[in-house]
Amino acid sequence: MSGHKSPSDYAELVEAQAEGERPIAPGRADTGKRCLVTGGAGFVGSHLCDRLLADGHSVTVIDSLITGHKKNLAPHARLNFVEADINDAHIAEYFSGIDWVFHMAALADIVPSMERPAEYHRANVDGTFAVLEAARAHRVSRLVYTASSSCYGIPDTFPTPETAEVRAMYPYALTKWIGEQTALHFCKVYQLPVVSLRLFNVYGPRSRSSGTYGAVFGTFLAQKLAGRPLTVVGDGKQTRDFTYVTDVVDAFVRAAVSNVTGEIFNVGSGGSYAVNELVRLIGGEIVHIPKRPGEPDCTFADTARIRQQLKWQPRVKFPDGVRLMLESIELWRDAPVWTPDSIAQATESWFRYLGVPKREENHGVR
């Protein structure tokens, strides 16, 4: 279709526009590392590959393409793509000679995790175990685990520090947390140099737009393109720590370069923005849909630890990030356009599993 840009065109566009915001290179010369990115054909993983290649490293991607897309990765002489599941027995061979492993491969949707917990356990727990075993066998010098702020559930404290209680509300959150704890266990027992990054709400071009109802950005952008109202959950006053993907990627690079091990770091923007503010920046009609059980009213990372220990700080301001998303809106042309009815259907199990049972439906239990 004329006027459409490919994801790689957008990678250049975003790169050029973020030029003034380019993250500062870490303090040491670390060019020419051999990197392995599991899940590198996904949203965050493909941006990480762009950054690693731009920094002069070589990259092997292992991805089953279950939610990722090969087109997210622009061809590059130093990029080697392996289509495989991280649970496949032969993946260990790709760890030979690797310096840095970035483990991003995971199933990452909330509702399917409630419907098919075994699949999530297999991908996120067994898969992580397989990656850790391969990394240990080949004595990699660094493994950065991609954890999720969903482990905090509905926290008591905002901004939320890494020490907050773990309150996983659904199997996705639980499996990501078990993966993290397993990685840290390998660090303690086998001295595998592991760092875990707990990502808050990451946004940017190429964010997942699979058939599954999920992250608010993709939902709104597809609705805007189709001229349909934006489906605002509840009153829209809930706030999210929206963190731009190139900032997140910079945290991964700093975690790889650093000597810190066995540590967990929150990766968040340092702000928390109302969904209503996002709606204002995107523009368009809105329609309200019911608030979901188990969803926090606020996500807001305490980022003191990563700022201090990795000298990381987010650079892309929220309105600038939203502008970049709007400039790449064509990427959501083929994404599903959700309506209040289709969302009600898609989230039915969410209400079923996490909703507080009504007294009269409670099988007579008082």
Binding site for ligand NAD (CB under 6 A): 39, 41-45, 62-68, 85-87, 104-108, 123, 127, 146, 148, 176, 199, 201-202, 208
Q: How far is the CB of 64 from ligand NAD (least distance, A)?
A: 4
Comparing CB distances to ligand NAD, the nearer of 25 and 92 is 92
Comparing CB distances to ligand NAD, the nearer of 73 and 187 is 73
Burial letters 50-78, b for 16+ CB under 10 A, else e: bbbbeeebbbbbbbbeebbbeebbbebee
Q: How far is the CB of 86 from ligand NAD (least distance, A)?
A: 4
Structure tokens at 352: 């079923």
Comparing CB distances to ligand NAD, the nearer of 117 and 229 is 117
Q: How far is the CB of 104 from ligand NAD (least distance, A)?
A: 4
- CB proximity list for 29: less than 8 A, separation 6 or greater: none
Nearest-angstrom CA–CA distance, 131 and 101: 9
Q: How far is the CB of 331 from ligand NAD (least distance, A)?
A: 13
Comparing CB distances to ligand NAD, the nearer of 152 and 338 is 152
Closest-CA residue to 219 (of 110, 65, 329): 329
- CB proximity list for 234: less than 8 A, separation 6 or greater: 288, 290, 291
Comparing CB distances to ligand NAD, the nearer of 64 and 303 is 64
Whether 172 sits among the annotated catalytic residues: the reply is: yes
Q: How far is CA 19 from CA 44, 99, 289, 331, in A?
A: 19, 28, 38, 21
Nearest-angstrom CA–CA distance, 174 and 176: 6
Q: Which of 10, 94, 120, 172 is catalytic?
A: 172
Q: Where are the beta strands (DSSP E) in the chain?
A: 34-38, 58-63, 79-83, 100-103, 142-148, 194-199, 201-203, 230-233, 239-240, 242-244, 263-267, 273-274, 286-289
Radius of gyration of the chain (CA): 20
Comparing CB distances to ligand NAD, the nearer of 71 and 311 is 71
Nearest-angstrom CA–CA distance, 132 and 155: 29
Q: How far is the CB of 76 from ligand NAD (least distance, A)?
A: 17
Q: How far is the CB of 2 from ligand NAD (least distance, A)?
A: 27
Q: How far is the CB of 29 from ligand NAD (least distance, A)?
A: 28
Comparing CB distances to ligand NAD, the nearer of 9 and 88 is 88
Structure tokens at 306: 């990563």
Nearest-angstrom CA–CA distance, 211 and 219: 11
Between strands 239-240 and 273-274, the pairing is antiparallel
Active-site annotation, residues: 172
